[in-house]
Amino acid sequence: MSEYRPRSRDEDIEDLRQVFRAITEFMEDIKDVVKEFIELLGEAFDGSRLGREVGEFYRSLVDSGVPAEEALKMTREFLEKKLEIVSRIGETLNVIRTGLGREAGSAAGVARGERRGGTEG
């Protein structure tokens, strides 16, 4: 039976570097995909598109026999909900974007051998 040998601090550090290198590579790989996704969401909530959507919503209510005053009230609520969703998505995407940037920077620093307060030497 082999004798247990505790791992050295240097071995642990090297293992962490390898893990952070893999994380950094993964984040670099998905960076463009995430950016495209964010842009796609932004386009989905474009102002002119939202205006058309709200107009179509109102028109469909009126065409379905909903009284104009009630249709207007429902349309206002529809617009408020849409704007609330856009705001929340924007906030979420900013958190994701900030987090990805910060984590990528931290992982890259560890992968390069940097320590707090300087670099390994």
In a domain, 44, yes or no: yes
pLDDT of amino acid 32: 84
pTM passes above 0.85: no
In a domain, 34, yes or no: yes
In a domain, 2, yes or no: no
Residue 106 has pLDDT above 50, yes or no: yes
- In the chain, where do the E strands start and end? 114-115, 118-119
In a domain, 100, yes or no: yes
Q: pLDDT band at residue 113, thresholds of 50, 70 and 90?
A: low
Specify the number of domains making up the chain: 1
| Helix, strand, coil percentages in the chain from 3-state DSSP, rounded to 5 | 80, 5, 15
In a domain, 96, yes or no: yes
With contact defined as beta carbons under 8 Å apart, do 17 and 113 qualify?
A: yes
Domain membership of residue 19 as a residue range = 9-112
